[in-house]
């Protein structure tokens, strides 16, 4: 079994990044967290990376003259850090297709709802929970999926339900969902470390 050489992409708070770090430092996730990649120099995730002495890099399209230069640099950074697997954890930008091809079935994303419901462009953060509540859903949950060229799309690796309770607010619901995110994401990454995820006809199966 090979330890994952993990690159984590995050744009915001970084609580999933922390949860993954925590499980790897406890030995419950066989992964080395090699790098944090962010498009946001103010991301909370950077502070966490500094505390844990994880290298980080701020990279975004606007730092480059051409898209090509941007993509080349991103690929070079990933190669230089020997990244074998990418986990998106609240990364707000689309991953360039070239990176998706280079890391085919080796990029996961976590989404705070049961995809394919409540996903896609613009469906992020509190909007997701707001819409779940507005629709009157009785259950919501968490999805971890492999990443393809569409937002919140690609083979679903794992999902877990969270009950929507009478009187829930965006805050109460998102808090419960987030707790489940912190459990399921390291667990799913461990499945990849154990080489137990196979994709057949765009469907992910656990061996």
Spatial neighbors of 50 by CB under 8 A, at least 6 apart, are 56
Strand ranges for 116-172 from DSSP E = 139-146, 156-163
Q: Among 7, 96, 112, 119, which residue sits at the site for ligand GRF (rule: CB under 6 A)? A: 112
Q: Does 78 bind ligand GRF (CB under 6 A)?
A: no
Of 90 and 96, which CB lies nearer to ligand GRF in the complex structure?
A: 90
Interface region with ligand GRF, contact rule CB under 6 A, candidates 7-15, 99-107, 159-167, 197-205: 7-15
Q: Which of 111, 129, 153, 182 is catalytic?
A: 111
Q: Does 10 bind ligand GRF (CB under 6 A)?
A: yes
Interface region with ligand GRF, contact rule CB under 6 A, candidates 9-17, 22-30, 69-77, 94-102: 9-17
Of 90 and 186, which CB lies nearer to ligand GRF in the complex structure?
A: 90
Q: Does 155 bind ligand GRF (CB under 6 A)?
A: no
Cβ contact 139:161 at 8 Å? yes
* Nearest residue to ligand GRF, scored by beta-carbon proximity: 90
Assess whether 111 carries a catalytic annotation: yes
Rounded CA-CA distance 88/107 in Å is 7
Q: Does 12 bind ligand GRF (CB under 6 A)?
A: yes
As measured in angstroms, the least distance from the Cβ of 136 to ligand GRF is: 21
Rounded CA-CA distance 59/74 in Å is 8
Of 17 and 56, which CB lies nearer to ligand GRF in the complex structure?
A: 17
Task: Establish how many alpha carbons lie within 13 A of residue 74's alpha carbon, considering only the half-sphere containing its beta carbon.
Answer: 29
Query: Residue 194: what are its φ and ψ, rounded to 5°?
Result: -85, 5
Spatial neighbors of 59 by CB under 8 A, at least 6 apart, are 37, 38, 39, 70, 73, 74, 77
Helix (H) or strand (E) holding 31: strand 31-38
Catalytic residues, by residue number, are 111
* Site for ligand GRF, rule CB under 6 A: 10, 12-17, 89-90, 110-112, 178, 181
């Amino acid at each position: 079994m090979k330890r994952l050489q993990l690159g984590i992409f995050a744009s915001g708070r970084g609580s999933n990044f922390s949860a993954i770090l925590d499980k790897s430092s406890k030995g419950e996730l066989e992964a080395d967290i090699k790098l944090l990649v962010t498009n946001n120099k103010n991301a909370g995730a950077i502070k966490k990376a500094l505390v844990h002495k994880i290298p980080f890099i701020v990279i975004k399209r606007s730092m480059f003259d051409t898209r090509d230069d941007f993509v080349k640099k991103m690929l070079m950074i990933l190669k230089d850090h020997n990244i074998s697997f990418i986990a998106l954890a609240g990364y707000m930008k689309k991953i360039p297709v070239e990176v998706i091809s280079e890391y085919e079935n080796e990029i996961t994303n976590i989404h705070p709802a049961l995809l394919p419901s409540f996903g896609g462009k613009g469906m992020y953060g509190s909007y997701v929970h707001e819409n779940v509540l507005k629709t009157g859903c009785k259950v919501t949950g968490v999805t971890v999926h492999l990443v393809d060229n569409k937002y919140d799309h690609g083979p679903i690796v794992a999902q877990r339900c969270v009950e929507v309770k009478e009187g829930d607010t965006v805050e109460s619901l998102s808090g419960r969902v987030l707790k489940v995110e912190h459990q399921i994401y390291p667990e799913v990454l461990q499945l990849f470390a154990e080489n137990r995820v196979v994709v057949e006809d765009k469907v992910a199966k656990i061996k």
